[in-house]
Amino acid sequence: MTFSDLGLSADLLRAIDAQGYTTPTPIQRQAIPAVLQGGDLLASAQTGTGKTAGFTLPMLQRLSGGKRPAKRGVRALVLTPTRELAAQVGESVRDYGRHLPLTSHVIFGGVGQQPQVDAIRPGLDILVATPGRLLDLHQQGHVDLSGIEILVLDEADRMLDMGFIHDIKKVLKLVPPQRQNLLFSATFSNEIQALANKLLDAPTLIEVARRNTTAETVDQAVYRVDREKKRDLLAHLISAHRWYQVLVFTRTKHGANRLAEHLGKQDIPAMAIHGNKSQSARTRALSAFKAGELQVLVATDIAARGLDIDELPHVVNFELPNVAEDYVHRIGRTGRAGNDGQAVSLVCVDEHGLLNNIERLIKRDLEKHIEPGFEPDPNAKPEPIENGRGNRGGGRGRNGGGGNGSGGRGGKPQQAQGGRGSDDGQRPSRRRRRGGQGRQQA
- Which tens digit of pLDDT belongs to each residue from 41-70? 999 866 667 889 999 999 999 999 866 665
* DSSP classification of residue 249: E
pLDDT tens profile 290-336: 888 899 999 988 655 656 677 789 999 999 998 888 888 788 777 76
Residues 175, 256, single domain; the answer is no
The stretch 115-143 carries a mean pLDDT of 94
pLDDT value, residue 214: 62
Residue 167 and residue 47 share a domain = yes
Q: What mean pLDDT comes out for the span 1-25? A: 92
pLDDT value at position 72?
75
Check whether residue 263 and residue 185 sit in a common domain.
no
**What's the predicted TM-score (pTM) here?**
0.64
Distances (CA, A) of 304 to 107, 135, 300, 367, 442: 18, 23, 6, 25, 9
Pair (406, 267) in one structural domain: yes
pLDDT band at 274 (very low <50, low <70, confident <90, very high): confident
Q: What is the mean pLDDT of the chain?
A: 82
d(CA 310, CA 301): 19
Helix (H, G, I), strand (E, B) or coil at 179: coil
* Cα(234)–Cα(296) distance, integer angstroms: 11
CA distances (Å), origin 219, targets 206, 209, 295, 314, 356 = 26, 18, 20, 10, 18
Residue 99 lies in a domain: yes
What single DSSP character describes residue 435? T
Task: Specify the pLDDT at position 327.
Answer: 87
CA angle 19, 153, 388 (to 5 degrees): 100
Structural domain contains residue 442: no
pLDDT value at residue 162? 80
Quick check: 432 pLDDT over 90?
no
pLDDT value at position 188? 74
Count up the domains in the chain and report the number.
2
How far apart are the C-alpha atoms of 348 and 91, rounded to whole Å? 39
- Ranking 26-30, 129-133, 382-386, 409-413 by mean pLDDT, the lowest is 409-413
Q: What do you get for the CA distance between the two ends of the chain, in Å?
A: 41
Is 441 part of any domain?
A: no
Q: Residue 219 pairs with which residues in a beta bridge?
A: 342
Q: Are strands 415-418 and 392-393 parallel, antiparallel or unpaired?
A: unpaired
Task: Identify the residue with better confidence: 389 or 39.
Answer: 39
Helix (H, G, I), strand (E, B) or coil at 375: coil
pLDDT above 80 (res 423):
no
Same domain, 250 and 130: no
> Is the pLDDT reported for residue 189 higher than 90?
no
Is residue 196 domain-shared with residue 322, that is, in the same domain?
no
Q: How far apart are the C-alpha atoms of 423 and 405, rounded to whole Å?
A: 31
Beta strands in 189-239 (DSSP E): 204-207, 218-224
Given this model, what pLDDT does residue 419 score?
39
Q: How far is CA 172 from CA 4, 135, 179, in A?
A: 34, 11, 11
Three-class HEC string of 104-161:
EEEECCCCCCHHHHHHHCCCEEEEEECHHHHHHHHHCCCCCCCCCCEEEECCHHHHHH
> In angstroms, rounded to a whole number, what is the distance separating the alpha carbons of residues 406 and 351?
9
147 and 232 in a single domain? The answer is: no
pLDDT confidence of residue 415: 32
Tell which wins on pLDDT, 188 or 212: 188
**C-alpha to C-alpha distance for 183 and 209, rounded to whole angstroms:** 16
CA 38 to chain centre: 26
| Same domain flag for 45 and 187 | yes
Q: What is the CATH number of the domain that holds 332?
A: 3.40.50.300
427 and 383 both lie in a single domain:
yes
Q: What is residue 351's predicted lDDT score, i.e. its pLDDT?
A: 95
Amino acid identity at 435: G
Is the pLDDT score of 222 beyond 90? yes
Q: What percent of the chain has pLDDT over 70?
A: 80
Instruction: Find the mean pLDDT for residues 261-279.
Output: 90
Which of 207, 229, 248 is the last residue before a domain boundary?
Answer: 207
Residue 213 domain flag: no
pLDDT at 253 over 50: yes
**342 in any annotated domain:** yes
- pLDDT value of residue 397: 35
Q: Exposed (0-12), middle (13-18) or buried (19+): which is 341, by Cβ within 10 Å?
A: buried
Let me know whether 140 and 267 are in one domain: no
In this structure, is residue 35 part of a structural domain? Answer: yes
Per-residue pLDDT for 269 more than 50?
yes
Calpha distance 261→255 (Å, rounded): 10
pLDDT tens track for 371-422: 999 999 999 999 988 654 333 333 333 333 333 333 333 333 333 333 344 4
Q: How confident is the model at residue 368 (pLDDT cuts 50, 70, 90)?
A: very high
Question: What local confidence, expressed as pLDDT, does residue 193 receive?
Answer: 83
In terms of domains, do 29 and 137 share one?
yes
Structural element, H or E, at residue 84: helix 83-96
Q: What is the pLDDT of residue 225?
A: 97
Decide if 438 is inside a domain.
Answer: no
* Domain termination site, one of 143, 177, 207: 207
**The pLDDT of residue 235 is above 60:** yes
Q: Which of 207, 241, 273 is the last residue of a domain?
A: 207
Contact 275, 425 (CB under 8 A): yes
Residues 127 and 232 in one domain: no
Helix, strand, coil percentages (3-state) for the chain, rounded to 5, are 35, 20, 45
Cα separations (Å) of 262 from 235, 252, 266?
Answer: 9, 15, 7
Question: How many Å apart are CA 322 and CA 11, to the nearest integer?
Answer: 45
- In-domain check, residue 440: no
For residue 403, what are the domain limits? 218-432
- Report pLDDT for 44: 83
